[in-house]
Structures are given as structure tokens and as C-alpha cells.
Amino acid sequence: MNQRFEFKHIHTMLLSLIALLLLPACGKLSNAVEENQGGALADNAASQVYVGPGEYDEFYAFMSGGFSGQIGVHGLPSGRLLKIIPVFSVDGEKGYGFNEETKPMLNTSQGFVPWDDAHHPELSQTDGETDGRWIFINGNNTPRIARIDLSTFETAEIIEIPNSGGNHSSPFATENTEYVVAGTRFGVPYPQQDVAISSYEENFKGTLSFISVGEEGEMDVAFQVLLPAFDYDLAHSGKGKSHGWTFFTTYNTEQKTTMLEVAASQNDKDFIAAINWKKAEEYIAQGKFREMPARYAHNVYDEHTHMATSTMKDKVRVLIPSECPGLVYFLPTPKSPHGVDVDPTGEYIVGNGKLSANLTVHSFTKMIDAIERGSFEKEIAGIPVLKFEEVVGGVVEDAGLGPLHTEFDGQGNAYTSFFITSEVVKWKVGSWEVLDKASTFYSIGHLMIPGGDSKKPEGKYLVALNKITKDRYLPTGPELCHSAQLYDISGDKMKLLLDFPTMGEPHYAQGISAAKVLPRVKKFYPIEENKHPYRTLGEKDSRVERSGKDVHIYMTSIRSHFAPDNIEGVKVGDKVYIHLTNLEQDWDVPHGLAVMGANNAELLVMGGQTETLLWEPKEEGVYPFYCTDFCSALHQEMQGYIRVSPRNSDIKLSWRLGEDEEAI
């Protein structure tokens, strides 16, 4: 008997092994079949985006939540929304910014800022390829950069950008995520001070910041470059031959402060600022920086204490271009360029002049030649301006109106969004000919190809991130959803496959093969690694302690009860800290906690995690609490009471779980 089952076991193992070996071959075979059948199958958009029940999507798409301040995680090609990651805005659903542990994440030099405008997600890269470790995103309004850990899909770190206003050209990683960058959209007085707005040219500056990223992802403002007070719009770092450089677009080189829609649109050409950050590192090493006063918060969430800490920093290193030759060059670029995008080889730098009909592409090689020849048109604040005709590598003519942003498919093609004519234009890198155009519905901003801003794009799909939806979905009153559209770009012609709504305004997005992320994803937090100072590692340790007016409840949750679930001896005016440790060690079993009258939100505690709800009862009575996240057949029974007595009451603290015990 025993041996028969052993054979069966080995037999199964051998079969699975053979199946595994055959798998890639099968994939190729079925592709070939599809190609041969062409017509009928190829036109069936529904089947191309259909991901069957229980099946995984091929790609993760991380969509900026825009003015929701969050990140939306979608699957591609289905477009299904998988998770909303709270980043810069409080989120009652998850208690983010409401529980005691995450409040410090939203601390800034201006105090607690519970909202921001999140624009550009950026995946970490290794050797110029997306690596699935982290995703960064900028907070535009109160300048910040956040790092989200892709093993937990939680915000792990937020750093404020000092002496900056409107962190738009951010975060955009370098080839090995040595740095993510931040550029001020608004010129601001430097240092910040009370001056007349009309003294703009004299008192205002623009800073570009380089945020170093350590082995564990830890961020630090390594240095800033002090530039004229242009508006710095977008950025991208070089790769391959241009590794070591980062490019920032500018507008409002007119340096106006009022009625910018006209005043900042007058110059025929604005600039792309090219920063040689390797040179910057040399200057830093030589000590050629100035240490300037600054005030900015650095907030870090510790996965073991399950708590965030906020540290205020008070200085920053600044490089002045006139003191650091070779650090910065300006590349004239028509006309108020928005996106600046570097092709996978690192040679071409696309300036998407958003008020221009043409698309200007600079050549990195020509730029270096011009710099070596010292062939400059003029200098602005000690920064050489290169000659337009000496750096242009090519121009894509009459492609559309209002080019905003370009990504690449890894096959030598580029795809540019045109806002005004509401379309995606596919063109050939090098020959600059337009290959195809596809309408978008409506008013596309950025677009995204998984890995499309890296050295190794995965050029199967393109996502258009649209600003306006009008008639595309069921109306929902004056406010309609924002929307993304999915295109198949595997053939010669782009093909629209799918509309799907997104949360907030989807400015930019990043995509990555799920296979690169899945091996790192955690299922729960090992309870033995819980180092929260108020953790409760077993029901036996659950208890209530008083210290003056502070009451600390050490509570646990496991299917399907809290321990303790009856508490007496709390008084009006107490500050009650409910420290809930979820003892579960299984995937997808969070427990929630909500207390009647709490002025914050619920807790949503993952397996092995501890979170704290501060509850300040205002009136005597008996207050129910319960589990908010369905956990089991007896979830509805997962509830309890806290008795609140008058301030002068002599009722002693007591707690219990179950009928038979006086106390646990």
C-alpha cells in the first residue's frame, strides 16, 4: 500500500516537472496559432482583456490617484482595481493617518497635512530595468516624495522637499535608483521670506533636489541645485550612455507671476535643464556646496514596530551652478515643454513642447559634443545655454497638437500623447516618421507602457490616462469619473481594447510584469517579529492599565473575538488607547475595530500587526465596539462593550473574556 502511494507521488511530481518544461513551448505554440488565425480572433477586443474568474492579470498598473493623494493598483489587461494604497491622504478605510501609528507619516514642516496631490508614480530600477522593489510618488502641493514597499503595498517612507513649492517634476529614478529627483514647479523666495511678489526675478529661485535612495530604500535629500526661478515641470533621468544625467523641463522662463496662461506662453523656446549628477557628486565630495538652513520632515514606517516616526531636519546641501562649472546646461526647447523622455538607448531626449505642433528630440551625443566644443548661445545665471540647432537630433513634424509625454515599446518606436488633439501618435525613433495615430476619449495627459520609461520596455500594452470622460460611462451627476484606456500595441496599428475608470485624476502610471512583484509579496506579518511597544502576543497578556487619565487597553483579535471584550472602569475625560494586536497568522484575515463615537476612524489590523485607536469618551454610558472587516461565520458576534463612568466614580478597572473567568 505504502509503496503504491509513493509511486503515485513520484509520478505526479514527474508529470508536473514535464508540464513545467513544456510550458514555454506551449505559450509559443498558442501565440503562433493566434497569429495564423488572424482576423476573427484579432478583432475580438473583449477576449484580449478577459481575465477569467480566478486568473491573475499579467501586469500590475500603479495609477496616480491625482488629487485623492493615493495610488490605485490595477491589473492589466483587465483594468480591475485591486487596491488603493493610502499615501499622502488620510484614509478612513484603512485607518491611515487616523491611527496613532501612521499619524507621523503625514507630518511636515507645516504640521500634520492630511492631503496631497499625487502625480507621478515611479518604479525602482536596477540596471535601468524595473525591479519590483518599491514605487515612489510625488506629493505636489506640500512638496514630498513617498516610497511604497511592494512586499506589503504600504507606504514605508515620506520625505519632505525643503525650499521648494509644488513638487511636480518628480520622482523619476536614476538607472539604479541611486536617486529619485524633485524639482520645484513654483519659484519661491530663497530662503522663504516675506517679500513683494513683484520682486520675483530678484528674490525667487528654483531648486532641483536629488534624493538618495539606500539599499533598504531609505531616502535622504543628498543635495539641491539652485537655479533661476523658472517653473520646473517634469523630468527623466538618463540611461545607458546618458546615465549620470537628469533632464528637467521648464516653462515660465519669462518669470511672470500673474496671468501665466498668457504671460508664460510668450517665449518661443523654453529649456530642458540637463543636470550632470555625477559631476554634482564630485563637487559634493570636494566640499563645494553651501549648507543652507531648511526645515523638512522625514517620516519612516517600521515594519517591525508597525509604527512611523517623524524626524525634523534643519539643513540641506546646495550647489550653485556659477560655482560648479559643468553641472548644468540649458537645452532650448519649444514651447513650454511638458514631459521630457529618454529613449531606451539613452541617446534621445524627447521634449514634448505642449504648445507646439512639432516634437523636438535632442541628441545626447550632440549635446556632449556641443559642451566639449564650448559652443554656447549665452549664459543665464552662470548656466551655459546650448545652441538649439547643435543639439537637436530630430523633429517629428505635424504629428498633432499639444504633445505632452512620450514612452517607448523597446522595438524602436515611440508613443506620444497629444492633449489638444486627444490622440496617441506612434512614431519611429531615428527616422522621425509618424507610423500610426489612435484617438483617445478624451484629452489624454500622460500615457504608460509597462517599463516604457526604462531600458527594457514590455511593449505589449499602452495605457492612455485621460482627463475627461463625458459620454463614456453612466453619468454620476456633475462629477464624472476619470478614466484610462488600454491599447494593444503588439501589432503595427494600435488597437483600443478597453475603458476603465480610475480614482482621482490619473496623471501618470507605471506598469510591471506581475512575475517581478509576486515573489516578494507578504501574506501576513510574523507575530514573533512584532516589536510594537504596546503589542499583546497572546490572549493571556491582554489587559487594561491606567496611568493618570491615560488608559491603555492591550487587546487581541482572533476569529472571532476580541480579548478582552468587556471593560469597565473607564471614566469620562480619559484618553483611551486601544492597542489591538491581530493574532492571526493567515493570509487575508485582517480584523477591524470600530468604537461608537470615536472621532477618528476604524482600525484595520493585518495578521501579526498592532495598531492603536485613540478614543476619548465624552459622556458616561456603555459603548459598543465591533470588528468591521468580515472575518468568519461568527464575524457578527465579534463585538464587546466599554463602560464609561463619571469622572468621580470609584469603579475599578476590570476586564474579561467569557463567562467563567473573572478576568483573563
Partner 1 sequence: MKKYHKLIMLMAALGLMALFIFPMWRITLIAPQYPNGVNMHIWINKIGGDTPSTLQNINILNHYIGMKYIEPETIPELQYFPYIVLSMVALGIVLALRGKATGYLLWTLLLVALCAAGLYDFYLWEYDYGHNLSDTAPIKIPGMVYQPPLFGEQYLLNFLAKSYPHIGGYFVGASILFGSLAFVFKRTEHA
Instruction: Name the residue among 152, 174, 58, 223 with its Cα closest to residue 587.
Output: 152
Q: Nearer to partner 1 by C-beta: 524 or 577?
A: 524
Q: How far is the CB of 606 from partner 1 (least distance, A)?
A: 13
Most distant CA pair in the chain: distance in Å? 92
Q: How far is the CB of 611 from partner 1 (least distance, A)?
A: 20
In order of 63, 67, 115, 138, 629, the CA distances from 482 in angstroms are 11, 11, 19, 20, 28
Q: Nearer to partner 1 by C-beta: 3 or 648?
A: 3
Q: How far is the CB of 592 from partner 1 (least distance, A)?
A: 17
Instruction: Name the residue among 331, 352, 358, 335 with its Cα closest to residue 432.
Output: 358
Q: How far is the CB of 444 from partner 1 (least distance, A)?
A: 39
Instruction: Name the residue among 214, 391, 245 with its Cα closest to residue 326.
Output: 245
Instruction: Name the residue among 544, 569, 530 with its Cα closest to residue 664.
Output: 544
E strands along 390-470, which residues?
A: 392-396, 403-408, 413-418, 423-428, 434-439, 444-448, 461-466
Q: Nearer to partner 1 by C-beta: 363 or 632?
A: 632
In order of 256, 283, 394, 532, the CA distances from 267 in angstroms are 12, 33, 21, 57
Q: Please check whether residue 364 is in contact with residue 242, taking contact to mean a CB–CB distance below 8 angstroms.
A: yes
Q: Nearer to partner 1 by C-beta: 342 or 563?
A: 563
Interatomic CA distance for residues 343 and 238, integer angstroms: 9
Q: How far is the CB of 1 from partner 1 (least distance, A)?
A: 8
Cell readout for 58 is 499579467
Instruction: Name the residue among 477, 483, 642, 490 with its Cα closest to residue 568.
Output: 642
Q: How far is the CB of 54 from partner 1 (least distance, A)?
A: 8
Q: Please check whether residue 332 is in contact with residue 386, taking contact to mean a CB–CB distance below 8 angstroms.
A: yes
Q: Nearer to partner 1 by C-beta: 54 or 287?
A: 54
Interatomic CA distance for residues 424 and 418, integer angstroms: 6
Q: Nearer to partner 1 by C-beta: 38 or 54?
A: 54
Q: How far is the CB of 473 from partner 1 (least distance, A)?
A: 33
Q: Nearer to partner 1 by C-beta: 40 or 633?
A: 633
Instruction: Name the residue among 492, 418, 498, 412 with its Cα closest to residue 457.
Output: 412
Interatomic CA distance for residues 173 and 213, integer angstroms: 9
Q: How far is the CB of 589 from partner 1 (least distance, A)?
A: 9
User: Which DSSP string corresponds to 301-365?
Assistant: EETTTTEEEEEEEEEEEEE-GGGSTTSEEEEEESSSEEEEEE-TTS-EEEEEETT-SSEEEEEHH
Q: Nearer to partner 1 by C-beta: 50 or 587?
A: 587
Q: How far is the CB of 586 from partner 1 (least distance, A)?
A: 5
Q: What are the residues whose beta carbons fall under 8 Å from the beta carbon of 91, sequence distance 6 or more?
A: 70, 84, 97
State whether the Cα torsion 489-174-139-183 is positive or negative.
Answer: negative
Q: How far is the CB of 588 from partner 1 (least distance, A)?
A: 9
Q: Please check whether residue 661 is in contact with residue 585, taking contact to mean a CB–CB distance below 8 angstroms.
A: no
Q: How far is the CB of 635 from partner 1 (least distance, A)?
A: 12
Q: How far is the CB of 541 from partner 1 (least distance, A)?
A: 16
Q: How far is the CB of 341 from partner 1 (least distance, A)?
A: 42
In order of 119, 360, 373, 431, 619, the CA distances from 349 in angstroms are 21, 9, 20, 15, 64
Q: Nearer to partner 1 by C-beta: 62 or 562?
A: 562
73 phi/psi in degrees, rounded to 5: -100, 115
Q: How far is the CB of 233 from partner 1 (least distance, A)?
A: 47
Q: Nearer to partner 1 by C-beta: 268 or 528?
A: 528
In order of 194, 410, 452, 513, 550, the CA distances from 461 in angstroms are 50, 12, 10, 11, 55
DSSP SS3 for 620: coil
Q: Nearer to partner 1 by C-beta: 413 or 582?
A: 582
DSSP SS3 for 409: coil
Q: Nearer to partner 1 by C-beta: 10 or 651?
A: 10
E strands along 127-196, which residues?
A: 129-139, 144-149, 154-160, 179-183, 188-189
Q: Please check whether residue 401 is in contact with residue 381, taking contact to mean a CB–CB distance below 8 angstroms.
A: no
Span between the terminal Cα atoms of the chain, in Å:
49
Q: What are the residues whose beta carbons fall under 8 Å from the beta carbon of 111, sequence distance 6 or more?
A: none
Q: How far is the CB of 331 from partner 1 (least distance, A)?
A: 55
Please calculate the CA angle 8-12-14 and round it to the nearest 5 degrees: 115
Q: Nearer to partner 1 by C-beta: 136 or 562?
A: 562
Please calculate the CA angle 333-334-340 and round it to the nearest 5 degrees: 55
Q: Nearer to partner 1 by C-beta: 3 or 547?
A: 3
> Footprint of partner 1 on this chain (CB under 8 A)?
1-3, 5-6, 524, 526, 558-559, 584-586, 632-634, 637
Q: How far is the CB of 581 from partner 1 (least distance, A)?
A: 14
Q: Nearer to partner 1 by C-beta: 4 or 652?
A: 4
Q: Nearer to partner 1 by C-beta: 545 or 637?
A: 637
